[in-house]
Every structure is written in structure tokens, then in C-alpha cells.
Amino acid sequence: MLLAYGDAPAKNYMSMIREEKTLACFSQHVRTRFHERQIHMKKLGLDATDIRILSAVQQHGHLSKTRLAELVNLSPTPSWARLDRLKSAGIIRGYHADLALERIIDFTQVVVTVAMSSHRKIEFERFELHIRNLDEVTHCIATGGGMDYVMTVITPTLAAFQRLMEEMLSADLPIERYITYIATRQVKSSHPKLAKLITTSLNPGQKTK
């Protein structure tokens, strides 16, 4: 016999228990990832100069040897050698142009949340492999909580988006349900400031401006 939690019925009580367990697991995951980032930075041997180099190329893209040296306050040869090392380590994955897509073509952007019917590792891997092969899915993150994934999908038209979702559902993927949110305008799109992010993560109690 299930007991009620306050005025909530028994099934709501069980739902609350599941949500509490999910949040506890997610909090533990965040703490673990924070510790892993600190260890990873030490293993890579990143110092303040490396962070300045990474911040420079993140903000300005591909730079000449002279310009990079000016930005990081280091002579050209060692700054370029550090940049090569960061590339070889896989920290810099590439350089990309930020296109004003809305000025080039009309398109439909949709945010999709997905809940899986199965939480087996093999099913997550199968879903993620399918998503990686879809050019229309520009971003996809796995999440803790009520939904398992949040995706950003860009297609030429709304009809094209609907066809894409129908194809996903017919691909025998373990999708229990999904919710769509049609984007009406872009408010902000940016990358985190690396130096600020690292400073905050290494000093959690420090206030940022």
C-alpha cells in the first residue's frame, strides 16, 4: 500500500521520490565534473598564458603570429609554439565564421525536448548516433530531470521540420514523447568567456562583475 505525501496522491509521491533521486544524481554529476575539470587542467599543464591564448582565438578567430603575440603579451615564437601545442592537444577544434543566417535565407528554428522510453545505455547510444548524422540538428545536449535531451533543429520550413520528426519516429528510436518550441527571434547567441569561466570554477565563492 502506497502512502500519500501531504495532500498529493500516492502516484505523485512516487513521482516526487524519482525526481529527488534524479536531482541528487545530477548534483553529484556536477560535483564530479567540476573535480575532473580541475584535474584535467593540471594534467594539460595549462597556465595563465595558455588561457590568454585560448581567449584570444576564441574572440578573434584565426590570428597572425604577430597579432597573437600582441594580444597575449608574449613574443611571437613562444606564443605560436603554445598555440600549436594547444591545437595538438585537441583543445582548439577549429575556426569558424559566425554567419548572419537570417540575412541570407528564411528558415525555421525549433527547440525540441525529448524523453526516452528506455534508459538503457545502448538505447542512448543509438539515439545519439542517429542525431549526429542529422545536419538539421545543430545542437543537442543530454539533460537530467524530466527530459533526456534538448535539441536545436534548423530546417528551411516548418513542413520540413515536421517531416524530419516523422522520420525520427519511424526510425524505431526509443522516443517516448517530445515537445517542440518554435523560435520567433534570436535574443542572444554567444560563447562563454573562457577566462571568466575558469576563474569562477576554480574560485566558486568569488564574485564576478
Give yes or no for a contact between 112 and 151, defined as CB atoms under 8 angstroms apart. yes
| pLDDT tens-digit readout, 107-141 | 999 999 999 999 999 999 999 999 999 999 999 99
Please tell me the predicted confidence (pLDDT) of residue 44. Answer: 62
Cα distances from 189 to residues 43, 45, 99, 124, 149, in angstroms, run 31, 30, 12, 28, 20
Please tell me the predicted confidence (pLDDT) of residue 7. Answer: 44
For the chain, domains (ranges, CATH) are 46-96 (1.10.10.10), 101-182 (3.30.70.920)
Low-confidence ranges of the chain (pLDDT < 70): 1-44, 200-209
Cα distances from 106 to residues 155, 159, 186, 187, in angstroms, run 9, 13, 14, 17
Please tell me the predicted confidence (pLDDT) of residue 46. Answer: 85
Residue found under cell 548534483: 27
Please tell me the predicted confidence (pLDDT) of residue 3. Answer: 38
- How far apart are alpha carbons 48 and 55 in whole angstroms? 10
Please tell me the predicted confidence (pLDDT) of residue 100. Answer: 87
